[in-house]
Amino acid sequence: MSFLSPITGLIAAGITVPLLVLLYFLKLRRRPAAVSSTLLWRRAAEDLQANAPFQKLRRNLLLLLQLIILLALAIALARPMRTGLAPQGQRMILVVDRSASMNATDGSPTRLDQARTSARELVEAFDGPGGVMVIAVGQHAQVMTPFTTDRARLRAAVDAIAPTDEVSDLTDVAALIAPYVPTGDKAADADRAGTLIYLLSDGLLNEKQVAATFPATDSFRWIALPLSESPAAPAAGADSPFPANVAVVSFSLRRNDARPAETQVLTRLANFSDEPVTTNLALRVDGRTRHARALTIAAGQTESITFDLILSSSALLEVSHDHNDLLPADDRAALVVPPPRRLSVALVGQGNAFLQKAIEAVGVRQLVQMTPQRYESVTPSSLARRAGGGVDEGYDLLVFDGYSPQAVPPVTSLYFAAVPPAPRLNLRGTIDSTTQPARRRVEPILTWSRDHPLLRYVALDDVLLLDPGRLELPDGAVVLATAAGGPVMAALPIDDRLHVMASFSPLQSNWPIQISFAVFMDNAVRYLGLGGQEEAALACAPGQTLTIPVDPSSLPSGATLTYKAGRETISSMPQPGRLLVGPAERVGLYHATPELPEPWSTLAVNLLDPVESDLRPRAAGLVRHDAAPSPAPPTSTAAAPMDLATHAAASSVQQEIWRWFAAAALLVLVAEWLWYLRRLHV
């Protein structure tokens, strides 16, 4: 706080305060008078007039109140002011990040608390006629309040932003703010001018999403959190420049194909700091510690640990470390392991030896080959494996080779040169093998999604495709691989079941003779056959919905399935033959009420995201989703981070606050007058 007229205030205080104190040193010179009694006069007549010096200064509440009044008025005369955020525009949009990293305890006490404090300051300073909109973003965006000028409502909306352990996704934000983002068309932007957009985040966001969501203009500001690079938090060492965060970034299980009871548990710990960290890792099975190891993880490195277990029945696996760091959500992870089972797969087509051998090599329990005619004659309900059904009932995965079914299968499926009959999903450009050779073409695969579970450890740079088709995909599809003509491999969820499509036949490529084909089929059979789980265990991420193959009719009459973990509760939505559960906003172990058959009675929700766990401050630019910092500062000021101090210097005004001191003086004056009247009537 500074003053515009400090001399005026000092002069006023220097004159009035001593005069007031001097008045309390004066005493009365009373005229003698004969009265019958002074009992009722003693307190009422005390020191009402000062006409003779001097008396001893005594403790007096009136004196204290009057001093406060004079000091408050003197400060008001000095015209105090503060430097405040001064957003100037027609309307303002506040986007508050509430993802997992915002729960780091290097804020006040967390980064999310800092974001809420900054949001309240912006709300108080803004006076545009269009008002303020508050949006909270995690895995999904939530409008806390539409545009309003009611500051009380805005403060309540900011305070209502609850923390989550989700990963930030700005897709929903882009749709919400699109009507207010300039497009470059002067006519269309006439109504969009004057909209200020503030992103309050620690910057652990997808850089491409930020560039696509927010305008590259001065109307967008990113206020970087935490505001201090020297947070008061438990440090990894005395000389550590930033407190370490040790995170469990991977926790998975894989069974032996030949002996399913034999399992291998793999976990990875990452040290996101500039100093080595020593910690203890514990693995628990059904609440009992089975393994414990002491680890020293080098600065900025990860450590992989493998455990061998025999699990002949369902079990709950938990892994955790004991390092005291900034983010508790990534200190542990859990897996619900179902009883061992081998998968049942149906191959629909005219016969493909490469596909048959690749599926058998995975170690499935049974592989049934069907012609398209036989498949269409089977009752659809008999294709899906039912919870509690017999060993030979239904299939875990359907593989279609060159044949598109007439209806969407009720089972997770894999398609080669075929697609399911879904709206706006088409396979274009396929060429029959009898086509003249002059018109045929060979295309390599240009790009593929290396981080998707289906393509993990799969190299496609040497794969050549003969006359590949092109997939026309609806909204919600995920492109897995692309050739010159467009997408050649994609995944599409339909009715909460994943369907993976390749626009080409393996026989029309050199892929079957490469090791990557066997790796892909192993990934696909395991991932798709286990219902979208990467390994033979059940877990999900915050913000993710899980499908449970439990018939809602099997629940007690009138009962609604809920999962609880402490104060957190997630509910379910009944669907034909199954239940949709989630999403859960916080990590933890959720237990079902009423209880379900194993392994569905417990739901494990884990963070397992290295981007959210890497809490180290960023000097400039947003952080890419692969956790690699931007090589250079962003070229646009729209993507440049600002702390509050920098932002205040760039776009703030001096706000006079003398009215607050004048109001305080008036309030104390009323209190002093009431106390004075009370003394007169004693």
The alpha-carbon radius of gyration of the chain (Å, integer) is 35
Proportion of the chain in helix, strand, coil states, percent, rounded to 5? 25, 30, 45
Tell me which of 282 and 28 has the higher pLDDT: 282
Residue with tokens 């619900």: 336
The CA angle 663-665-671, to the nearest 5 degrees, is 105
Q: Quickly state the pLDDT bin for 287 (edges 50, 70, 90).
A: very high
Euclidean distance between CA atoms 54 and 17, whole angstroms: 18
Residue 647 pLDDT? 43
The CATH code for residues 344-529 is 3.40.50.880
Residue 228 pLDDT? 45
- State the Cα torsion 192-193-194-195 to the nearest 10°: 30
Q: Which H or E run includes 354? A: helix 353-362
Residue with tokens 């040290």: 271
Domain boundaries, given as residue ranges, for the chain: 2-78+662-680, 84-231+617-642, 246-340, 344-529, 546-605
Cβ–Cβ < 8 Å for 446, 487: no
Cβ–Cβ < 8 Å for 385, 578: no
Euclidean distance between CA atoms 282 and 344, whole angstroms: 35
Segment 642-655 mean pLDDT:
44
pLDDT digits (tens, 9 = 90+) for 336-376: 988 877 788 999 998 889 999 999 888 788 899 999 999 99
Token readout for 641 is: 């981070």
Tell me the C-alpha to C-alpha distance, in Å, between residue 288 and each of 316, 319, 409, 675.
Answer: 10, 11, 42, 68
Q: Report helix, strand or coil for 23.
A: helix
Cβ–Cβ < 8 Å for 452, 527: no
Residue 342 pLDDT? 73
Out of 106-110, 235-239, 477-481, pick the least confident: 235-239
Contacts of 471 (CB under 8 A, 6+ apart): 419, 425, 426, 427, 428, 477, 486, 487, 488, 489, 490, 501, 503
Segment 448-457 mean pLDDT:
89
Q: Report helix, strand or coil for 85.
A: strand
In this predicted structure, the answer to whether residue 659 has a pLDDT above a threshold of 60 is yes
Residue 379 pLDDT? 87
The CATH code for residues 246-340 is 2.60.40.10
Segment 105-122 mean pLDDT:
88
pLDDT digits (tens, 9 = 90+) for 606-618: 999 998 998 877 6
Mean pLDDT of the chain: 80
Segment 404-415 mean pLDDT:
92
Domain 84-231+617-642 and domain 246-340 have a common topology: no
Residue 458 pLDDT? 93
pLDDT digits (tens, 9 = 90+) for 7-50: 887 888 888 878 777 766 665 555 676 766 666 566 555 554 44
Residue with tokens 């026989």: 507
pLDDT digits (tens, 9 = 90+) for 201-255: 887 777 667 777 887 766 788 887 775 443 333 433 444 456 679 999 999 888 7
Token readout for 428 is: 């274009």
Q: Quickly state the pLDDT bin for 631 (edges 50, 70, 90).
A: very low
Segment 657-678 mean pLDDT:
82
Residue 305 pLDDT? 94
Cβ–Cβ < 8 Å for 583, 164: no
DSSP string, 232-280: -S--SSTT-SS---EEEEEEEEEE-SS-TTEEEEEEEEEE-SSS-EEEE
β-bridge mates for residue 2, sequence order: 81
Q: Quickly state the pLDDT bin for 415 (edges 50, 70, 90).
A: very high
In this predicted structure, the answer to whether residue 540 has a pLDDT above a threshold of 50 is yes
β-bridge mates for residue 335, sequence order: 317
For 512-651, strand residue ranges (E) read 546-548, 562-565, 568-575, 578-581, 588-593, 602-605, 641-642
Amino acid of residue 163: P
Contacts of 130 (CB under 8 A, 6+ apart): 89, 90, 91, 92, 147, 194, 195
Q: Report helix, strand or coil for 225.
A: coil
Token readout for 244 is: 């370490």
Contacts of 463 (CB under 8 A, 6+ apart): 444, 445, 509, 510, 511, 514, 516
Q: Give just the sign of the alpha carbon dihedral 276, 278, 279, 283.
A: positive
- For domain 84-231+617-642, which CATH number applies: 3.30.56, 3.30.70, 3.40.50, 1.10.1060? 3.40.50
Segment 513-540 mean pLDDT:
80
Q: Report helix, strand or coil for 494.
A: strand
Taking phi over 0 as left and psi of -120 to 50 as alpha, with beta for the rest, 635 belongs to alpha
